[in-house]
Structure 1
Amino acid sequence: MAELGYLTALRRDGGRLAEAVRDLRAPVPACPGWDVAELVWHTGEVHWFWQRIASGAVSGPDDYREPSRPAEGELVAWFAEGVEVLAGTLSALDPAEPRWTWGRPDAGFIQRRMALETAVHCWDALSAAGRDEPVERELAVDGIDEFLRFFLPDAPPAGFRTDVHLHATDGPGEWLVRPSGAGWSVTSEHTKATTAVRGTASDLLLLLWRRKGPEDVEVLGDARALEEFVDVSQLN
């Protein structure tokens, strides 16, 4: 996706997240231990952090100071305002502009990460409101690519031999992921694997992010291998 597409997605899904809030005390099933207030605060604080990085106000995590948490009655409005401030900051930057990130050190990485972070947390908020609405397909495909590039450990765990084929059923998109020496091989080829997983791009993305389970997709082959694969990802 182009950077303008990411900013459109950020604004759209940020707005959908805010609109979905009905009860700040409602639990968020996808994030055990969180209520909606914690979800809104977390997502808004992530936006705040990356806006500070993108704007050049701070050069990295060592310079960062967390904002004061708004009162609950002001939380959603604070979040919505932060979405627009972040999108405005990012829209003024060339994607190649150097910036600190934990991935690729440029503004384009932040644009992509913020669109995808917001999309997944938008799904969390919708789910808390009883609405299982998919991540937009093009963004979900891009999110799978991002996940497989940046959210697997640098090296497979010792003894890990699983290879997984992910296949989107709602349009183009397939990925073959294999342990390869000290790293991973990720290709778009269509071939047999220990485990094949078929589902919509949204469901595959949400599976990788542990929002959905194997029962929400079609799993062919070794189902335990799929669980092992998801378990090795670098998620907080």
Structure 2
Amino acid sequence: MTGESLPTPLRDGVGLLARAVDYAVDSLDVVGRADLGRPTPCAGWDLRALLDHLNDALLALHEAATLGRVFPDIGDYAGGTAVDPIAVLRDRASRLVGAWTPPSPRKEVAFGDLALTTAIVTTTGALEVAVHGWDVARACGVDRTIPAGLANDILDVVPLLVVAADRPVRFALPVELPFGAAPGDRLVAFLGRHPL
């Protein structure tokens, strides 16, 4: 594929990531400290564990932008109960978008032994951040559908990022929705979540 034949999200992964971060940060507005023990759509995780995971994801994306490499299997975020994971997330989110803009001349990011394009890294990051932003709101009992434009752009590439081997290990089986479901609902349903 040439750069012009790539789906738009892969041509502007940084812009997609910035939109996903904005959406996820807005989802944090509904979280209070008393909510941290709530269950989430992510099986086996309470809200604190989900926020810790999201902090790890933002750290990895920041490493990708600034160091040109991601260190897999290193969970650097050591939150603990005394740390406010929401404040840490907000700070990381603001630094993350700044690290990717203006777009780095970097064309690849090392992930273990793999070399991934920055477009794949930022687009995958956008998927992770947006869907976990939805998970955060849902855990707090709030329905914050992923905006249609953002969801449609991620839906354009999600079949490239989530394959059969990812199920049921990383994602549950897709959830069937009625015809005409909103793009945000289709996105989370594709990843095994129940939007309705």
TM category, shorter: 0.7 to 0.9
Three-state SS of the structure 2 residue aligned to 1:105 is strand
In structure 1, runs of 5+ residues without a counterpart are 155-163, 168-195, 217-236
What is the match of residue 48 of structure 1? Answer: 59
What is the match of residue 16 of structure 1? Answer: 26
Q: What is the CA distance between 1:136 and its match in structure 2?
A: 1.0
| Identity fraction in percent | 19
What is the CA–CA distance in structure 2 between the aligned matches of 1:101 and 1:59, rounded to whole Å? 5
What is the CA–CA distance in structure 2 between the aligned matches of 1:58 and 1:72, rounded to whole Å? 30
What is the match of residue 169 of structure 2? Answer: none
Quick one: structure 1 residues 96 and 53, their matched pair in 2 at CA, closer, same or farther if it must change by over 3 Å? closer
Q: What is the CA distance between 1:121 and its match in structure 2?
A: 0.8
Answer 1 or 2: higher relative contact order, Cα 8 Å, separation at least 6: 2
What is the match of residue 97 of structure 2? Answer: 87
In structure 2, runs of 5+ residues without a counterpart are 1-8, 166-173
Q: What is the CA distance between 1:44 and its match in structure 2?
A: 0.8
What is the CA–CA distance in structure 1 between the aligned matches of 2:50 and 2:182, rounded to whole Å? 25
Q: Which has the higher helix share?
A: 2
What is the CA–CA distance in structure 2 between the aligned matches of 1:65 and 1:201, rounded to whole Å? 32
**TM-score in terms of structure 2 length:** 0.74
8 A Cα contact 1:95 1:108, kept in partner = no
What is the match of residue 137 of structure 1? Answer: 148
Three-state SS of the structure 1 residue aligned to 2:154 is helix
Quick one: structure 1 residues 29 and 106, their matched pair in 2 at CA, closer, same or farther if it must change by over 3 Å? same
What is the CA–CA distance in structure 2 between the aligned matches of 1:18 and 1:95, rounded to whole Å? 32
Q: Which has the larger radius of gyration?
A: 1
8 A Cα contact 1:37 1:72, kept in partner = no
RMSD across aligned positions (CA): 3.1
Q: Which has the higher strand share?
A: 1
What is the CA–CA distance in structure 1 between the aligned matches of 2:24 and 2:105, rounded to whole Å? 21
What is the match of residue 190 of structure 2? Answer: 208
